[in-house]
Amino acid sequence: MRRFWKPGYYCDGNGLYLQIAKGGSKSWVVRTTIHGRRHEIGVGGYAYTSLAEAREKAIEIRKSAREGGDPLQANRERMRVLEREHRMPTFEVAARDYHRELCKTLTNEKHKANWMESLEKWVFPAIGDRRIDRVTSSDILKILTPIWTEVPERAKRTKQRIGAVMSWARAAEFYTGSNPADDLEKVLPKVQREQKHYAALPYAEVPSFIQSLRSDAGISGRLAFEFLILCAARTGEVIQATWSEINWDTAIWTRPREHMKAKKEHQVPLSARAIEILHEAKRIGDGGAYIFPGLKMHLLLSNMVFIATLKRMKKTDITPHGFRSSFRDWAEEKTRYSQRAIEMALAHEVKNKVEAAYLRTKLLEERTELMADWAHFATGQPVAKVVRMHG
């Protein structure tokens, strides 16, 4: 376009004009009659709309007007779509905006923090930078399928949170149609429910439980109970534990296969607090083989000691075994440790022999950090490096 052209309208034909504003900007407009009234409709800027495209749009507009249509309303809708696309958030931006609004109704600070964790862990890496109106059921299915049977409770909560974000975005008119998170459970794998559940203390209450436990009578019993909690162990494994199973140099408790449910030897990294308990148990011990002996010299501690302790503490609605569930819930909800490390810490059997060997040799360092963090949380003590001491 020649620069000496003055501001005004320059006709091309069929009602199409090139409009040059006083500031020099150029755009295409169409003049036509709609329902008996003259209107001027913009069809694009000169810089990004070619003459051929402008002519094509002009023909469409004038044809629509002749046939009784309302090209002006259609153009307004097109402009609204362009405006909406310009301000369209990504999934992550929408999720964080919704979370800010949600937090206004939540009073539990931990719940506020926990709400975003599963999205940050699994969802944002996959679709965080995708426009919210382009998130599909297929996208969500790909995120949920790998974790649906691995961590079913967290996967279900993640699905609910994705659905809540999408519902908020639809209400904000960022997209129309159905929620892509709906009805996915019909195509996700069936989750086998565990047949037996042990009553567990919510992990948030474990620190106060341990503080109360330390004032309970029977020093050997309460040391054994705290040791059980910190090691996420079964009661039988603790009461049968012997000093020969402790490696003081590496701070590892090696439980022999005959004491294990899966009949496989299992190593437990010991936290600094667990080591302290062992030293205290040795100081008060009877000199026998068992770490936590019973009332009679050199005999096993009774399994009923744990039940009696809970009765004295008026915690009859939970079980000693349930603290393994407390540990697992905490690890899954509050940490980013791998699912395999968590399962390994609980001595759950891995059927694949090659994978099992890999986990034994490769995850010990991660599990050492996991158990140290658990002890920090459960006791309220600062995380400390385990001191390698000889017995």
Q: Which domains does the chain have, with CATH numbers?
A: 8-86 (3.30.160.390), 91-186 (1.10.150.130), 203-379 (1.10.443.10)
pLDDT tens figures, 11-42 = 888 889 988 877 677 888 888 887 778 878 77
Residue 230: per-residue pLDDT: 96
Most confident of 48-62, 199-213, 287-301: 199-213
pLDDT at 261: 73
Confidence at residue 57, expressed as pLDDT on a 0 to 100 scale:
83
Q: Which two tokens stand for residue 224?
A: 């054994």
Q: pLDDT (tens digit, 9 = 90+) per residue, 178-194?
A: 899 998 888 888 766 54
Please state, for a pLDDT cut of 90, what percent of the chain lies above it.
31
> In a 10 Å sphere around its CB, with 0-12 CB exposed, 13-18 middle and 19+ buried, how is residue 231 labelled?
buried
Please choose, from the candidates 227, 193, 205, 226, the residue with its C-alpha nearest in 3D space to the C-alpha of residue 330: 205
Q: What's the mean pLDDT in 209-213?
A: 92
Q: What percent of the chain is predicted at pLDDT more than 70?
A: 83
Helix (H) or strand (E) holding 272: helix 272-284
Of 157-161, 192-196, 278-282, 291-295, least confident by mean pLDDT is 192-196
Query: Is the confidence at residue 202, as pLDDT, over 80?
Result: yes
Residue 1 confidence (pLDDT) above 70: no
pLDDT at 327: 94
Output the pLDDT for position 353.
55
Strands (DSSP E) found in the chain: 8-13, 16-20, 26-34, 37-45, 246-247, 252-255, 266-269
